[in-house]
Structures are given as structure tokens and as C-alpha cells.
Amino acid sequence: MEKQNIRAEIEKGFLTVGIEFGSTRIKTVAIDSNFNTVASGYYEWENKLENDFWTYSVNDVWVGLQKSYSNMTDQIESIYQLRLKKIKSIGISAMMHGYLAFDEHDDLLVPFRTWRNNYTNEAAASLRTIFDFNIPERWSIAHLYQALLDKEPHIEEITYITTLAGYVHWYLTGEKVLGIGDASGMFPIDPTEKNYRGDLMEKFDGLLQTYGLDKNISSLLPEVLIAGDEAGCLTREGAKLLDPKGDLEAGIPFCPPEGDAGTGMVATNSIAVKTGNISAGTSAFAMIVLENSLEDVYPEIDIVTTPSGSEVAMVHTNNCTSDLNAWVNLFDELLNLLNISISRDDLYGQLMNHSLEGEDDLGGLLSFGFVSGENITDVSDGRPMFVRMPDSRMNLANFMKTHLYSSFSTMKIGIDLLMQREKIQIDSLVAHGGIFKTKGVAQNILAAATESPITVMETANDGGAWGMAILAKYMTDKRNISLEDYLKSFVFREIKASTAAPTEKDIQNYKNYIKRYKSALPLEQKASQFILGDD
């Protein structure tokens, strides 16, 4: 679209905005009527381990939101000489799961507990048995029940729990609602009714009563909405919160807030049956839209939904690129010490490309990038480890390739389980995330790990924020078609993409690596017993 046409869209308020709170970056993306990114802004942040809980500062939530949005509007002003005042629609997305609990005064009772916390083993295992449905440690209901089992004082004061996306949406619109995809990471969903499962809510109410709590779970959870539903409008207070400069007008419609898994599915056109996508960042997850419900219950496999409510098998791993990023940061520090100037993107790209020279067996190197625990591999606490034999061939190419292999290792184990036991068929598998920005490196390794062709779209780096903007635009377009058809017929009609198919040699190399990886797993599983923190 020509510059003058985009200026006209900005002036008329035709842009749509998606904001996603990712694990390492809060990103704001504005798209035009042709779904193209007009401008973007971001704010980098990191979770912290405080008092044994992984958390983000609530203050950082709002500082990051404002700076990310402001960076986007500054970019618009720089390119088009216009201040953004009107927006067609907005959507908020964030990391799924976790625990934000509030009292009757809407005050936060305990610091935000993120998806990365896996201290809820007892609660999750108990609910899994009671519900005959997998309840992962990350899910909001597991956090709530664990707090109940631990007799945490705040339990008596809870009147509302939600996710990060639901929290931000609530403060901007006043509406306590949640998109069905994000809601499916709080409590099990009935895909027919498009709502929380009533039979399991009754069972949980019984548990609350057993522990003397005069509450019911339906009153504590946000209302469930599906893609296309209206989810409130930006209030005057919300406008000031989002844009302290005062340019943004109130009254902008919001679509249902969603989880990053749902926006990842949208961003990769992977919400139709037998399609799948893989999102890779601090955490990683593979999402496969199911034709039929799984026959068995697997602790390693989450059952969530698309933003339109279809069942999805989710292989979620708490760790993906964090350890890899830590090593890149170390190399960056070395270069700074030597007064060598290179951008972080260039450094990352050169290291990634250099990994292509790594040997088939990675020189005998082995890496466990467990910054936090993993239920799939039965690792209770994170202890990142790099291991080698005395005669291993340790060079930079092998080192980088090993850490790239390691980034997808746990997810590979979960996907193999799903394929082997449930015989799931996948027509297409699309990947997105910053790790795929360097073309043909992580994409090829992931293809070998999944034994499947991997497609990466040109929009891969915009990721969930772009996907969230698409959901917001879908709500206002009112084309009276399903989200699946909307994506297929309009959004992805002209999107460019590249597909990498694995060779038999690459597949075998990764299988050999995973065999060594599994053999050494007991080292990682026991590491927390011997490598202790400061306390």
C-alpha cells in the first residue's frame, strides 16, 4: 500500500492494533486494511525468581505496555508525520496460564505467578485423577488448588483470578472476560458448549467446600468469549493508561484477550483440523488441531483450544531459547570487552549461520538448557548444564549447533509421544518466533526434530502481536464467516513463506542426539539435589 494510502488509513482510524506480552518482549503491532504491518514497537523484560516463584513485576507490565505502544506510535509519526488518535480495534495477548488473584477491592493478593512455576505438582496430579483430564502444573486451576492445599492466607480473600492477558484487558476496558483459547489454560473447556466444563466445575466446587471455602469456581473465573465476539471498549481511564501522552481516544472496541498459543495459531494459519504450529521463544510449544479427542490422558500433553474453540493437543516446554540466549549474551560481553562493535541481531545471525559448519554428531557435546523445571522430562528445578567428554571436539560451530539442538529437545520428546501413541496426522506444520529470523538454520533443525517439513512465513518475527491484531480485525470486519475461512480467504491469500523438508541424514543425526540426551537425563533430573542456590 502506498504511503499516502496508509496516511489516509491512519487519519480515518482504520488501523488495527495487537499487543502481546511475550516472555522476553512486549510487542505492539499496527496493521492496515490489507493485514500488513504498518509500525511496531517493543519493550524487553525478563521474569525473575523471587521467593521461589517465577514472576514479572506488575509495574513492568504497565511500563512495558506504555513504552511498547509509544514506540509504535513514534514510528508512525516518524514515517507518516501523524499522531495516532483513532484505532479501529485492539486486542491484548499474553503468556498463557499462571495465576493472578484479586480480592473484593480488585487488589492483587500475591505477586504474579507465571507459567514457569511448576511447584504445583501435588495439586496438578490430584486434579488429573479427580477430573480424568490432564491438568498441567502451569494451569491457573492448579495454582489455585495448590494454594488451597498449602493453606495460603490469601485464599480466603479471593474473588477473582485471571491470566495476564485477562488482567491487562480488564484494566483497559473494565471487562472481566477471556478468549476461549486463553481460558482453556485456566480450566478445562467443553468444545461443544464453548465454555468451562460444567461437570468438572461441580467437582471443584466440592473440593472448595471440603476445605471450608464458601465459594464456587464459576464466580472466580472470567467469562469465556470466542473469536469474533465483542469484548468491551477502551475506557477513558484505559486510554490514559495505554497512552499517557493523551493522543488516543476512548471508545475503541476490543476483541477477546487471548493467550500466546492462540495468537501463534492465528499468525501461522494453523487453526484448521490437522494443521499445527510451533512457537519458539523462552518457552516452546507445538499445537496440533485435533480431528477427534485423544483416547487417553497424558501428563505430557495439554488439551487446549483454538480462539474459535476447537480442541488442540499442546506439547508445552518451559525451556527453549533462554540458555542459548545466555551464551550469546556472554559472547556479546566478550566483544564489548574487546571494543568490537556489532549489533545483537548481527551477532546472533553470524553465530547461527556458523552452526551450519557443526559436525553430524555435534562433536560429542551435550547441553541441557533447563533454566526452569520440565514435567515432560521429570526435571523439578532448572539447572542449565553443558557437558562434554575429554575428547569431544569443542569448537564454536559444534557448540552453537548443540545449543540449537537442545532448544527443541524436550518438545521433540513430547511430539514423539503424541505421534506414536495417538497416531496423530498433520497436514502442515508452521513455525514462528525470533529464533527463525536467521533463515534456514533453526528451521532445518526443527524439521529434523519433528521429522516433518517446517514452513516459516515472512510474518514469523512479528508473531503473536500480529496474530492478535488479526483477531481484532476479524471482530470488526463482520464478514459473517468462520475464523478459519477468514484466514484462508483473506489474511494468508498472498503471504510469502519458505518450507524446509528434513533429509534422512538430518533426521538420523537428531535421533542419535536424542538418544544420547535421554541417556544423560538422570544427570539433569538429579542436579537440583547437588547444585544448590545461595539459600
Cell of 100: 493472578
| Three-state SS at 471 | helix
**What is the per-residue pLDDT for 461?**
56
Per-residue HEC secondary structure of 393-412 comes to: CCCHHHHHHHHHHHHCHHHH
The C-alpha angle 19, 263, 43, rounded to 5 degrees, equals 30
Mean pLDDT per 10-residue section of the chain, whose length is 535 residues: 88 97 93 95 91 91 98 96 96 95 97 89 95 94 96 95 98 98 97 96 95 92 97 98 96 97 90 88 88 89 94 92 96 97 94 97 97 89 94 98 97 91 84 87 96 81 85 92 94 86 96 97 93 71
The owner of cell 476461549 is 180
| Three-state SS at 166 | helix
430: left (phi over 0), alpha (psi -120 to 50) or beta: beta
454 - beta bridge partners? 500
286 - beta bridge partners? 278, 315
For 417-427, what is each residue's pLDDT tens digit? 888 898 887 77
Go through the chain and tell me how many residues it has. Answer: 535
Burial class (CB in 10 A: 0-12, 13-18, 19+), 399: buried
The C-alpha angle 444, 448, 454, rounded to 5 degrees, equals 55
Burial class (CB in 10 A: 0-12, 13-18, 19+), 197: middle
42 - beta bridge partners? 27
**What is the per-residue pLDDT for 1?**
57
Give me the half-sphere count of Cα atoms (radius 13 Å) on the Cβ side of residue 409: 29
**What is the per-residue pLDDT for 427?**
77
- 352, 438 Cβ separation under 8 angstroms: yes
Cell of 60: 513492568
Helix intervals (H) in 338-441: 344-354, 396-407, 409-422
pTM value? Answer: 0.83
Give the C-alpha separation, 202 to 208, whole Å: 10
The C-alpha angle 401, 406, 407, rounded to 5 degrees, equals 100
- Helix, strand, coil abundance in the chain, percent, nearest 5: 40, 20, 40
Q: What are phi and psi of 11, to 5 degrees?
A: -65, -35
**What is the per-residue pLDDT for 280?**
87
Would you say the C-alpha torsion 68, 69, 71, 76 has a positive or negative sign? positive
Contacts of 157 (CB under 8 A, 6+ apart): 103, 104, 109
Q: How far is CA 255 from the centre of its chain?
A: 18
Sequence-distant contacts of 327-331: CB under 8 A, at least 24 apart: 327/399, 327/403
In our burial notation (b when 16+ CB lie closer than 10 A, e otherwise), range 170-195 reads: bbbbebbbbbbbbbbbbbbbebeebb
CB atoms within 10 A of CB 342: 14
Give the C-alpha separation, 396 to 347, whole Å: 13
Q: How far apart are the first and last CA of the chain?
A: 58
Cell of 450: 519433528
Give the C-alpha separation, 525 to 376, whole Å: 11
The owner of cell 525473575 is 48
Per-residue HEC secondary structure of 15-35 comes to: CEEEEEECCCEEEEEEECCCC
Secondary structure E strands in 358-466:
366-368, 385-387, 428-432, 454-457
Q: Which amino acid is at 147?
A: A
Enter the DSSP assignment of 111.
P
| Three-state SS at 37 | strand
Contacts of 292 (CB under 8 A, 6+ apart): none
User: How many distinct helices (H) and strands (E) make up the chain?
Assistant: 18, 22
**What is the per-residue pLDDT for 87?**
97
Give the C-alpha separation, 382 to 371, whole Å: 4
